[in-house]
């Protein structure tokens, strides 16, 4: 009997401990979450962030794409949902004929007195320069641009001091610069939001940055902590020499002292084989729990020092030591994953892999090239289809063609679309385009050649076209499929989405690498239709589009 009671008590104790361990493991599972880098995959460069109570908002550069300045929301820093665009009306953003990688540069988002502000630069347009917009709801609507006179340079930022005054911070060229010099200065000036004008004197607070022979001092942000004003900038250009440096002063107009440990972040010392490169263009913020983080841009090279995805948004932890920020403490480099337990876990509904075009509006994934001035597409003319009318504009010109695209977000992926298209003559074509810019892309089109139906794959490399595949196809409906494993791309076709014919394989995807193409954008996968500078009343119906990351 004694043995039985001892055994019973032991069993009960074991079960109680096991139950507590199980509960502890479940609780740990509930609270131990991770932030995975990049937090915004694909072409989302130049991030800026602000917090309003428990909510976080990020904006990014959009360059020649419309709508301009995507805006994302999160509650936990790990899960981000796009809630709209800051510049989504043609009267807000004129990108007509803007050059490759011109357009919308480096926005900064800030919040003050129940109002959101986004300030940025428009490059390459007759009416360009620096301006800001404002809104009481970050999802919009946002105001029309308020253009700021006598505000040279790019990458402007706003800072709101404790006394309510607003300050504009920008960069510029020193008067003694040689024409080819990349040396820049940083300046600050009060901005009167009532009159919407700069007031008082400009103060040059930094010339040339902190690094020896530093180039392109830009992306200035001012913060206030512990009685100091902190000026954080990017230096070294946006390539693999990119770096973040920081300075501080007791007065907003200076003088500023440099952190002796500058740069506080760079990956240039890690070499081009490191899986995260070009770290820079950062923005600091503090959580409601008192912890500090930094958002920044970086790239994921693959297939050599190539990055088709463009510059992406990453995040990194920050602590403060001796009155200075320390980025990525204990590591000294940005990692792909960080634990995050303090803010909980607030996932959003995942974007479906397949867009069936059943909605009445396009999802936020889709963009146009430059400002669309013609109504060339419809989701209602044929319900359940995206109907795209052919335009004379061609994607190899600085125009707004019949193009609707989304970002490539993975180094390996598969994408396909189902379309019904009957070309009427040899000038008409429609299909898919893998697009970096007008001189670097792939066109995967259904067309006529001497009146006979074909599917053709064309590579455009440095402005020169070469045909990679051309096969006869006489059906009205076709499924076009593209797949990539790293820098190896393949093109295939099907009439039923079941039986496939490979028409081009092991195609070098580095055609889409920013290393080759230059500029500041990343690769898009788009729907495209053209009548090649001829007038046409024809159209193509896209039944669905599918994208799946395979990383």
The percentage of the chain sitting over the pLDDT mark of 90, rounded to a whole number, equals 88
Q: Quick check: 21 pLDDT over 90?
A: no
Q: Quick check: 16 pLDDT over 60?
A: no
User: What residues does 123 pair with on adjacent strands?
Assistant: 103
Number of C-beta neighbours around residue 330 at 10 A: 7
**pLDDT tens figures, 479-492:** 999 999 999 999 99
φ, ψ dihedrals at 270, nearest 5°? -90, -10
pLDDT score of 261: 96
pLDDT score of 211: 62
pLDDT score of 297: 98
Q: pLDDT band for position 25 (50/70/90)?
A: very low
pLDDT score of 89: 98
> Taking the mean position of all CA atoms in its chain, how far away is CA 226?
33
DSSP collapsed to 3 states, 343-373 = CCCCCCCCCCCEECCCCCCCCCCCEEECCCC
Q: pLDDT band for position 26 (50/70/90)?
A: very low
Return the active site residues. Answer: 46, 218
Record the tokens describing residue 157, joined without a space: 């930022």
Give the chain's mean pLDDT.
93
Q: Quick check: 31 pLDDT over 80?
A: no
Query: Does domain 44-340 correspond to CATH entry 1.20.1050.10?
Result: no
Domain ranges of the chain: 44-340, 354-549
Q: pLDDT band for position 32 (50/70/90)?
A: low
DSSP collapsed to 3 states, 460-527 = EECCEEEEEEEEECCCCEEEEEEEEECCEEEEEEECCCCCEEEEEEEEEHHHHCHHHHCCCCCCEEEE
Distance CA 124, CA 145 (A): 16
Q: How far apart are the first and last CA of the chain?
A: 61
The DSSP-derived string for 275-311 is: SSEEEEEEEEEE-TTS-EEEEEEEE---SSS--TT-S
Q: Quick check: 30 pLDDT over 50?
A: no
Over range 259-282, report the average pLDDT: 96
May I ask the CATH class of domain 354-549? mainly beta
Radius of gyration of the chain (CA): 26
Q: pLDDT band for position 340 (50/70/90)?
A: confident
DSSP state of 40: B
Over range 71-97, report the average pLDDT: 97
φ, ψ dihedrals at 312, nearest 5°? -115, 170
pLDDT score of 286: 98
Record the tokens describing residue 548, joined without a space: 């799946």
Strand ranges for 408-472 from DSSP E:
413-420, 429-437, 440-449, 452-461, 464-472
Residue matched to tokens 């502000």: 117
Whether the model pTM is above 0.85: yes
Q: Quick check: 36 pLDDT over 50?
A: yes
Residue matched to tokens 């992926």: 413
φ, ψ dihedrals at 250, nearest 5°? -80, -15
Q: Quick check: 499 pLDDT over 50?
A: yes
């Amino acid at each position: 009997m004694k043995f039985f009671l001892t055994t019973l008590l032991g069993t009960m104790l074991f079960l109680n401990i096991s139950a507590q361990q199980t509960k502890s493991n479940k609780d740990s599972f509930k609270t131990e979450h991770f932030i995975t880098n990049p937090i915004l995959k694909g072409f989302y460069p130049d991030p800026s962030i602000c917090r309003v109570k428990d909510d976080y908002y990020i904006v990014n550069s959009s360059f020649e794409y419309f709508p301009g300045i995507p805006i994302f929301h999160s509650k936990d820093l790990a899960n981000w949902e796009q809630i709209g665009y800051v510049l989504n009306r043609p009267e807000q953003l004129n990108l007509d004929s803007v050059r490759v990688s011109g357009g919308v540069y480096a926005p900064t988002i800030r919040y003050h007195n129940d109002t959101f502000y986004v300030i940025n630069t428009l490059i390459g347009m007759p009416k360009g320069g620096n301006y800001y917009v404002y809104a009481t709801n970050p999802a919009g609507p946002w105001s029309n641009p308020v253009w700021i006179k006598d505000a040279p340079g790019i990458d402007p930022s706003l800072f709101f001091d404790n006394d309510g005054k607003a300050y504009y911070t920008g960069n510029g060229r020193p008067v003694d610069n040689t024409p080819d010099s990349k040396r820049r200065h940083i300046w600050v000036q009060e901005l009167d939001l009532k009159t919407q004008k700069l007031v008082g004197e400009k103060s040059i607070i930094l010339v040339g940055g902190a690094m020896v022979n530093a180039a392109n001092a830009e992306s200035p942000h001012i913060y206030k902590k512990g009685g100091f004003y902190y000026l954080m900038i990017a230096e070294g250009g946006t390539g693999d020499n990119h770096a973040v440096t920081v300075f501080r002063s007791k007065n907003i107009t200076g003088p500023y002292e440099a952190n002796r440990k500058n740069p506080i972040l760079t990956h240039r010392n890690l070499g081009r084989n490191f899986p995260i490169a070009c770290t820079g263009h950062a923005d600091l913020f503090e959580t409601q729990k008192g912890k500090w983080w930094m958002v920044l841009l970086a790239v994921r090279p693959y297939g050599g020092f190539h990055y088709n995805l463009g510059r992406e948004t990453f995040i990194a932890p920050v602590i403060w030591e001796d009155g200075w920020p320390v980025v990525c403490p204990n590591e000294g480099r940005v990692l792909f994953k960080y634990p995050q337990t303090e803010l909980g876990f607030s996932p959003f509904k995942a974007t479906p892999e397949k867009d069936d075009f059943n909605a009445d509006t396009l999802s936020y994934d889709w963009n146009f090239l430059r400002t669309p001035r013609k109504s060339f597409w419809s989701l209602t003319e044929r319900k359940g289809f995206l109907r795209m009318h052919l335009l004379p504009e061609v994607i190899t010109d600085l125009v707004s063609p019949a193009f609707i695209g989304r970002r490539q977000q993975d180094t390996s992926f598969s994408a396909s679309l189902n379309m019904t298209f009957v070309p009427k003559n040899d000038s008409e074509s429609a299909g898919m385009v893998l697009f970096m810019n007008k001189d670097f892309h792939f066109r995967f089109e259904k067309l006529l050649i001497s009146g006979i139906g074909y599917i053709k794959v064309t590579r455009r490399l440095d402005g020169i076209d070469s045909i990679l595949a051309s096969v006869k196809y006489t059906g009205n409906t076709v499924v076009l499929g593209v797949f990539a494993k790293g820098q190896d791309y393949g093109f295939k076709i099907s009439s039923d989405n079941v039986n496939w014919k490979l028409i081009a394989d092991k195609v070098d995807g580095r055609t889409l690498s920013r290393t080759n193409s230059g500029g500041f954008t990343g690769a898009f996968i788009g729907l495209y239709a053209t009548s090649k500078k001829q007038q046409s009343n024809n159209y193509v119906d896209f039944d669905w589009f599918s994208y799946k990351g395979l990383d």
